Structure 1
Amino acid sequence: MTVFRPPLPTRRHLLAAGALSPLLRPSRLRAATTVPDSPLSAEHALVAFGHVGPVSDGGWTHAHDLGVQAVRARWPGLNTIYVESIPYSADATRIFRQFVAEGAAMVIATSNYGDFIRDVADAAPKVAFLECDGHNVSDNLGWYYITHWYASYIIGVAAGRLSKSGRLGYIASFPIPSVFAGANATLLGAQSVNPQATMRVISINSWFDPQAASQAGAALVDSGCDFLCGIMDDPAYLRVAEERHVWAAMWNTDMRRFGPDSYVSSVVLDFAPFYIDQIAARLAGRWQPAGHFLGLGHGVDRDAWGARVPQAVRDEADAVRTRILAGWNPFTGPIRDTTGRIRIPAGQSMSDAELYQWSWQVQGGAGLA
C-alpha cells in the first residue's frame, strides 16, 4: 500500500526525531558501471520524493505532488514517501541518504540539488536517481525539465495584444536560467505582435514569498505595467492584478480562482506521465539514466484561456502554438540583448539545450543581472 510516513514530513521533524544523525559530506565516489536493473514488484518497492517546497503551495511542488498522486493511483501497492521543503544545504544530503537507508529503489528530487544529490547517488549505485532541473547524468543519476519557454512565448503573444501600454512586468525568483528563459520568451512573444513591447523584472530572491511577490507586483503596476507575469509558486501577484484591474499570467497550475477577471493563462505543468513512465521502467528493470526534456503538450503547456481573454487573442496565440507543435522554432535570430548586440544571428535558432542555459536578457527587457 501507499505509505505516508509521519516521521518524514519535513526536515525539521527528521532532525528532531533523531532519524538523521549528523553526517560528514562524503567524498566524491565513483559510481559502479552498472545501472539499477533488478526487476521489482510494486508491493516490494519504495519510491522517495524530495520536494523543494510544501505540497500545499499551489504551485511548483503542488504540481509535482499531483504527479505523485497519479503514481499512487497507478500502483496502489507501491510504497511512497516524501519530504517537503528540503533546503539547498548539507541537510539535503542527509535526507537523500535517509531515503537510501529506508530502502528506496528510486529517489526523485523535484528541484536541482547538484552535489547534494550526486554525492548520494555516487555512493548508492543500485538506486535510481532523478533530479528535476539537474544537469548531470551518471551511471544511476538522470535529470528532467520542462520546455516552459514555448508556453511562455504563446502567452507572450496574448500579452502583446492585451497590454495597452506595451509594458510588461515580471516577478522573478532569482536571476537564473529558468527565469531568463521564462521572461525572455514571454517578451519575445509579446514583441512578435508589438515590437515596442518592453518588460521590467523584479527579483524577490525566493520561490515562495507571497508578501514580497505582492509588493513586487504593486511596484510594477505603479511603474506603468498593465500586464503581470512571473515564475512564482503562489498566486500573490494575481491578487494584485485583480485589485488593480490589470492582466496577469501565472505559472505551475490553474490559478484563475484567485483573480478570475485578470487571469489570462498559466504555464501549466503535468509530471504524471513522466513519473509513471520512469517508475514503470525501474520496476521492470530497464531504467536508464538520461536527460529528459518534457515538451509542449507533453509535460508543459499553456492553461485554458481566462474568461475575459478575447476570442481573437486566443486564436492568434493558439495559431502560434500550432506552429510550434508542427516544428517551428520561435527563438530564431536575429535576437539582441539589452545592449543591442546580436546574440542569435538571423537564420540561427536556439536549441532546447541553449534555452535551458539562457543567461542574458533580450532587448526591451530590464532588471535581470
Structure 2
Amino acid sequence: MLKLSHLTRRGFLNIGAAAGASLILPKTGLITPARAQEPLPAVAEENAVIAFGHTGPVTDEGWTWSHDQGMKAVQEAFPKLKTLFVESIPYSADATRTFRQFVSEGANMVFATSNYGDFLYDVANRSPDVAFYECDGRNPLSNLGTYYLQHWYPTYVTGVAAGLMSKSGKLGYVASFPVPSVYSGTNAFLMGARSVNPNATMQAIVINSWFDPQAATQAGTALLDNGCDLLFGIMDEAGYLQVAEQRGAKAVMWNTDIRRYGPKAYVSSIVIDFKKYYVDQVRMRLEGKWTPSETLLAMGAGVDRDAWGETVPPEVAKQADAVRDKILGGWSPFEGEIKDAKGNVKVAAGHRMTEEELYNWDWSIEGVSGL
C-alpha cells in the first residue's frame, strides 16, 4: 500500500493568511502561523498560467468534477489567463513529471486537487517562484499552501437523519482507504446516528480506490447482504447508490447531487464547492498578494449537506436541520468522552476536539468495524 501521506485527499476559515501573522480559527482555537515572508510578485492576467492536477477524471460527477467546476469559475472570472489540467494522475513518479511539466509550461500557480506528498513537494521546492496548493495536504512549504473541507459537520447532520431512518440500526460504509477523511467520515456519521439511536453500528468495506464503480457496487451489495439498510461512503461515483435503489435501501453520498441514479434511495450528499476559493486564490496571485495558507472550508461556505431526498420524511429533515443550525451557531458534537473501537478513552470528558484533531482523525470510534 502507498504511504498514508500519499493517499489522503479531499465564511472561509483561513489559517495563517498574512505574512508574519498568526490567526485563531473561529470556533476552533486552532492557531497556525503564516509561513511566507513576502508575497509572490504580481502577474498580469494575460501572462498568467494556472494549472490543475487531478486524481480522477473530470467526468466522474464527483470529486474531480467539483474541482473542474472551480477551474471553470476561474476561467470565467479571469478570461485572459491560460489554464492547464491533467486528469487521473497516478500516485507515482508520473505525478512528479506532470507537475514539472506544468512548471515548464509557465504555470504561475499549481493546484494539486489531491494529496500527492513527496511527488509534489520535490517540484515545489525546486520552483520557489510558483505558487502551489495541495488539497488535503499536511506539509505546507514557503510556496505551498493546503486546503480542505470541514466535512465532518454536514456528515454528522446526515448521520442524524440516517439514525432516524434506518430500521435495523446497521449502517454500511464504502471506504476508499483507511485515511483521515474516511475515519472522520465514518466516526461523524455514526456519532450523528447514535445521537438518536444509541445502538446504531457501522460496518466499513475498504476498496482501495477513490473511483472504482464495480468495486463500490460489490461493496455496497455485500454491506446490504450483511444486514445494513443504509449506506454511506466517500466514492466519486454512484455505484452504491444504484445498489441501494435496486434493493430498497437508503444511501447518503459524497461530492455532488447525483440523486437521479437512485431517487428513492437518495437521502442527501456531502456536497462540495471550490469555486469561490479558487477564484479568490488566483486573484491574490495575480495581484501580488498571495502567500501560502492552511484553509479548511466551513460548513455553509464550501461544504454542506445537499437538499434532502424525496423519501426523507419531513420530521426527519426538521430534526437533522435543527442540529445543523446548532453547529452553525457554534456548538460542536465532537466533545468527549469518546472511546475508540477497542473501548479506550481517546477524547477525555469535557474536551472538545479541535479542527486539527478532526482533520487528522486516524482511529475508529466504538461501533465502527472494518477499518
TM-score over 0.5 (shorter chain): yes
State how 1:196-345 maps to structure 2 within 5 Å. Answer: 196-345=199-348
Indicate conservation of the 8 Å contact 1:127/1:140, yes or no. yes
- Cα deviation 1:268-313 (Å, max 9, x = unaligned): 0000011011000000000011211111111100000001101110
Partner of 1:152: 155
User: Does the residue aligned with 1:232 lie in a helix, a strand or coil?
Assistant: coil
Deviation >6 Å, runs of 4+:
none
Asked whether the 8 Å contact 1:52–1:86 carries over to 2, the reply is yes
Aligned to 1:362: 365
Q: 1:78 — aligned with what? A: 81
Alignment of 1:64-213 (within 5 A): 64-213=67-216
**Who is 2:24 aligned against?**
none
SS of the residue corresponding to residue 346 of structure 2 reads strand
Q: Name the aligned partner's letter for residue 320 of structure 1.
A: V
1:47 to 2:70 alignment: no
Q: Give the stretch that moved more between structures: 332-341 or 122-131.
A: 332-341
Q: Deviations over 1:310-342 (max 9, x none)?
A: 111001111111111111111011111111111
Following the alignment from structure 1 to structure 2, what is the Cα–Cα distance between the partners of residues 33 and 238? 44
Kept in 2: contact 1:36–1:128 (CA 8 A) = no
Deviations 1:102-125 (A, max 9, x none): 001100000001111111111110
Distance in 1 between the 2:57 and 2:172 partners?
Answer: 26
Where in structure 1 are there 5+ consecutive unaligned residues?
1-31
Amino acid aligned to 1:327? G
What SS does the aligned partner of 1:359 have? coil
Matched residue SS, 1:189: helix
Sequence identity percentage: 59
Counterpart Cα distance in 2 of 1:334 and 1:223: 30
Task: State whether residues 34 and 125 of structure 1, in contact with CA within 8 Å, keep that contact through their aligned partners in structure 2.
Answer: no
| Greater RCO structure (CA 8 Å; 6+ sep) | 2
Aligned length: 337
Distance (Å, rounded) in 2 between the aligned partners of 1:273 and 1:36:
21
Q: Look up the equivalent residue of 1:223 and give its one-letter code.
A: N
In 1, distance between residues paired with 2:345 and 2:339?
Answer: 4
- What amino acid maps onto 1:217 in structure 2? G
> Following TM superposition, by how much is the alpha carbon of 1:138 offset from its aligned partner in structure 2, in angstroms?
1.5
> Does the 8 Å contact 1:35/1:125 carry over to 2?
no
TM-score in terms of structure 1 length:
0.90
Q: Residue type of the partner of 1:297?
A: G
Post-superposition offset of 1:37: 2.0
* Distance (Å, rounded) in 1 between the aligned partners of 2:38 and 2:88: 29
**Superposition deviation, residue 213 in structure 1:** 0.5
Q: Secondary structure at the match of 1:267?
A: strand
CA-based RMSD: 1.1
Q: Which amino acid aligns with 2:339?
A: R
Contact map agreement 1:247 1:264 (CA 8 A) in 2: yes
Aligned amino acid, residue 259 of structure 2: R
Separation of aligned partners in 2, 1:140 and 1:37: 8
Report how far residue 36 of structure 1 moved.
5.3
Summarize deviations over 1:1-35 as a string: whole Å, max 9, x none: xxxxxxxxxxxxxxxxxxxxxxxxxxxxxxx9765
Q: TM-score, structure 2 length as denominator?
A: 0.89
Q: Could you tell me whether the CA contact under 8 Å between 1:169 and 1:220 is conserved in 2?
A: yes
> Post-superposition shift, 1:136?
1.4
SS of the aligned residue for 1:355 comes to helix
Contact 2:36–2:292 (8 Å) recurs in 1: no
Task: Name the CA distance, whole Å, in 2 between partners of 1:214 and 1:289.
Answer: 39
Q: Distance in 1 between matches of 2:261 and 2:88?
A: 24
The separation in 2 between residues aligned to 1:227 and 1:77, in whole angstroms, is 47
AA matched with 1:258: Y
Residue identity opposite 1:310 in structure 2: P
- Stretches of structure 2 that go unaligned for 5 or more consecutive residues are 1-34
CA contact (8 A) 2:256 2:271 kept: yes
What letter matches 1:67 in structure 2? Answer: G
Larger Rg: 1
